[in-house]
């Protein structure tokens, strides 16, 4: 049995020179930012200048673990941290499977890999025995499943054709495409660096087994564990549909009449089996398609099913597997297809596409990755970019150029605030307040702001540890017991760590030009829903601005969304402030 790793070093890899070097992590950074999202954000902020090209060799791509990675119950995950080619701002994206478990064993005393530069030809990064080597690869051009199959003795994180072709929402896939660091284009950055794959060999750590089993038991017996045991994330389709917040047919409706065909009952009927973690807890459902076995999640059925008006789960699963193999983010891909359908209806295209057609969707997905047609090339850069090139502004909602996931804020207004203030662009995983507001509509601006902030900070802490999202629900101390077990003292309580990390990512985005104008209410959400329990519901600018004002005030940010000097000093971030992020109310950092 290996001893608990210190994880106090970072492996720096320069692809331009094909070199790797181990360097210590500043101790102050470990105490302040812990690991995962927080430490990755601190490195990103330190390494990049404002305006760095996300697809240039100067951009940094980090594969981050937490101080207890591989030891926690549930599915081990890693964080991909970089500057997003889709939004131009901060990006952290997460994936599970065997890759992060193996990475935790291979890196030993390293908490992550910091990749810079650009290789002169396609390469793979091989990580084992606490080190890394850069090697030529012959898998360029292969899909994610084919690439993983080329290394049967190792765990692999790789890009597919989407990342190679520079699609702005390309993913990093692991386990042959079953798991993805999806949103925001981390795979696009990897492709720009000509890094096809990270190939990892190592034995996962096995320490703290007693503590792990205690938390695993708590999770299995808790509400979240019981829910996932029964139905997995696909049941979110049924939930969103029931409350009238399931974006349907390009955000025109809030309820999908074909939801039964893509919801939990349909999946359970068609499934060939389930995923299982090391404790025997079930994960997603396994479904057979013509392209091979796939594990569709809730986002698959929501974005590629209801969002496109497709009520045949076999067809939805097949579209999901197409995205998985190509290395496309499911949510952005579904939005791109929906945009093309709406644009064709508006007479903006010389082609006709229809809702409810898996064939049209598959054709568009392949056009996007090939980038050989004007439409495919435009959509490959995201919905906002396609609108700028082809017309059709505001056909679909985006925030900071990221397409919204399928929870419609017209069914829970606090979700509009969650999307607007998310640090990586529209994201429901930062705060999913719809789970409460949908059943209690007495939410004034102050309550909405407090709820969003609380969830954002809590998630930031858990992602510093890189905890499985669902297992994290049973961490009533935000992971303090685990950090004590590995001997890591933090600077301030963990709630403060979460606030510090969230404020740092805001400072990064401010340095890139983000302001109140970017924390926006998409115009599409100001239009009333056509049907469902919330038919006629729309959001108005006045009520949204009241929520945003309350959010900024409670965060300790000024009216334009910049953290104030008092907030920066209180959180110990004074050393991170530079000329571009210095608050207007002080000379801090001069």
pLDDT in tens, 176-226: 999 999 999 999 999 999 999 999 999 999 899 999 999 999 988 888 888
At residue 56, does pLDDT exceed 50? yes
Q: What's the pLDDT score for residue 492?
A: 83
Percent of the chain whose pLDDT exceeds 90:
81
Given a contact cutoff of 8 angstroms between Cβ atoms, the answer to whether 241 and 305 are in contact is no
- pLDDT the model gives residue 283: 67
pLDDT band at 458, cuts 50/70/90? very high
Q: pLDDT tens, 253-270?
A: 999 999 999 988 888 887
Give the mean pLDDT of 313-320. 92
Of 464, 146, 200, 476, which Cα lies nearest the Cα of 324?
Answer: 146
Residue 412 and residue 403: Cα distance in Å, rounded? 18
Contact 11, 43 (CB under 8 A): no
Closest residue by Cα to residue 171 from 60, 318, 331, 283: 331
Region 9-200: CATH code:
3.60.9.10
As a whole number, mean pLDDT of residues 360-384 equals 97
Question: Quick check: 8 pLDDT over 80?
Answer: yes
The percentage of the chain sitting over the pLDDT mark of 70, rounded to a whole number, equals 97
The CATH fold assigned to 230-389 is: 1.10.569
For the 409-576 domain, the top CATH level (class) is: mainly alpha
CB atoms within 10 A of CB 96: 24
Distance CA 391, CA 394 (A): 9
Across 396-406, average pLDDT: 96
Among 397, 405, 318, which Cα is nearest to 365's?
Answer: 318
pLDDT for res 103? 97
Does the pLDDT value for residue 14 go beyond 90? yes
Q: How far apart are CA 555 and CA 231, in angstroms?
A: 36
Provide the sign of the torsion angle of the four alpha carbons 405, 411, 417, 418, taken in this order: negative
The pLDDT confidence band at residue 2, using thresholds 50, 70 and 90, is very low
Residue 549 has pLDDT above 70, yes or no: yes
Q: Is there a common fold for 9-200 and 409-576?
A: no
- State the sign of the Cα–Cα–Cα–Cα dihedral 580, 582, 587, 590: negative
What are 323's two structure tokens?
Answer: 């995205």
Using the predicted structure, report yes or no on whether residue 52 has a pLDDT greater than 90.
yes
524 vs 227, residue with greater confidence: 524
**Residue 556 to residues 397, 491, 515, Cα–Cα distance (Å):** 28, 19, 15
Q: For the residues 538-561, what does the mean pLDDT come to? A: 97
Arithmetic mean of pLDDT over the chain: 93
Q: What pLDDT is attached to residue 296? A: 76
pLDDT of residue 419: 98
Of 25-39, 55-69, 130-144, 264-278, least confident by mean pLDDT is: 264-278
Low-confidence winner among 279-283, 323-327, 491-495, 579-583 (lowest mean pLDDT): 279-283
Cα–Cα distance between 460 and 411 in angstroms, integer?
A: 25
Ordered by start, the domain boundaries in the chain are 9-200, 230-389, 409-576
């Amino acid at each position: 049995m290996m001893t608990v790793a210190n994880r106090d070093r970072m492996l720096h890899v320069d692809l331009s020179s094909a070199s790797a070097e181990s360097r210590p992590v500043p101790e102050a950074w470990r105490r302040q930012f812990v690991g995962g999202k927080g430490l990755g954000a601190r490195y990103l902020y330190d390494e990049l200048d404002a305006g760095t090209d996300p697809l240039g060799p100067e951009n940094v791509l980090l594969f981050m673990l937490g101080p207890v990675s591989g030891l926690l119950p549930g599915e081990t995950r890693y964080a991909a941290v970089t500057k997003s080619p889709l939004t131009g701002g901060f990006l952290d994206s997460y994936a599970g499977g065997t890759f992060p478990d193996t990475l935790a064993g291979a890196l030993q005393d390293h908490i992550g890999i910091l990749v810079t530069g650009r290789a002169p030809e396609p390469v793979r990064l091989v990580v084992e025995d606490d080190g890394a080597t850069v090697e030529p690869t012959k898998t360029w051009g292969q899909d994610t499943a084919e690439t993983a199959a080329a290394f049967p003795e190792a765990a692999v994180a790789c890009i597919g054709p989407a990342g190679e072709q520079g699609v702005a929402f390309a993913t990093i896939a692991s386990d042959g495409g079953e798991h993805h660091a999806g949103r925001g284009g981390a795979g696009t950055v990897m492709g720009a660096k000509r890094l096809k794959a990270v190939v990892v060999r190592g034995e996962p750590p096995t320490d703290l087994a007693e503590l792990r089993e205690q938390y695993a038991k708590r999770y299995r017996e808790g509400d979240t564990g019981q829910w996932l045991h029964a139905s997995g994330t696909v049941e979110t389709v049924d939930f969103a549909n029931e409350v009238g917040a399931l974006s349907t047919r390009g955000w025109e409706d809030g309820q999908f009449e074909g939801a039964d065909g893509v919801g939990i009952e349909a999946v359970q009927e068609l499934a060939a089996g389930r995923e299982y973690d090391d404790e025997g807890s079930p994960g997603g459902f396994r479904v057979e398609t013509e392209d091979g076995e796939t594990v569709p999640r809730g986002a698959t059925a929501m974005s590629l099913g209801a969002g496109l008006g497709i009520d045949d789960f076999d067809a939805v699963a097949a579209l999901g597997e197409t995205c998985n193999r190509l290395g496309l983010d499911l949510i952005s891909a579904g939005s791109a297809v929906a945009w093309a359908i709406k644009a064709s209806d508006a007479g903006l295209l010389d082609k006709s596409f229809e809702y409810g057609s898996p064939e049209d969707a598959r054709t568009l997905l392949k056009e996007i990755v090939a980038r050989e047609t004007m439409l495919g090339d435009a959509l490959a850069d995201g919905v906002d970019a396609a609108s700028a090139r082809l017309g059709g502004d505001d056909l679909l909602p985006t925030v900071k150029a990221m397409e919204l996931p399928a929870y419609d804020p017209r069914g829970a207004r606090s979700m509009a605030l969650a999307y607007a203030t998310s640090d990586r662009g529209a994201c429901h995983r930062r705060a999913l307040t719809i789970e409460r507001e949908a059943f209690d509509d007495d939410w004034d601006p102050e309550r909405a702001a407090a709820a969003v902030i609380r969830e954002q900070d809590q998630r930031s802490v858990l992602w510093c540890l890189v905890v499985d999202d669902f297992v994290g629900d049973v961490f009533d101390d935000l992971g303090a017991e685990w950090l004590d077990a590995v001997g890591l003292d933090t600077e301030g309580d963990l709630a403060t760590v979460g606030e510090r990390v969230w404020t740092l990512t805001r400072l990064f985005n401010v340095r890139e030009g983000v302001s109140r104008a970017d924390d926006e209410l998409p115009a599409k959400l100001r239009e009333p829903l056509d049907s469902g329990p919330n038919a006629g519901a729309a959001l108005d600018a006045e009520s949204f601005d009241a929520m945003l004002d309350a959010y900024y005030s409670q965060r300790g940010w000024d009216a334009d969304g910049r953290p104030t000097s008092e907030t920066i000093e209180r959180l110990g971030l004074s050393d991170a402030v530079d000329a571009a992020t210095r608050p207007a109310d002080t000379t801090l950092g001069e």
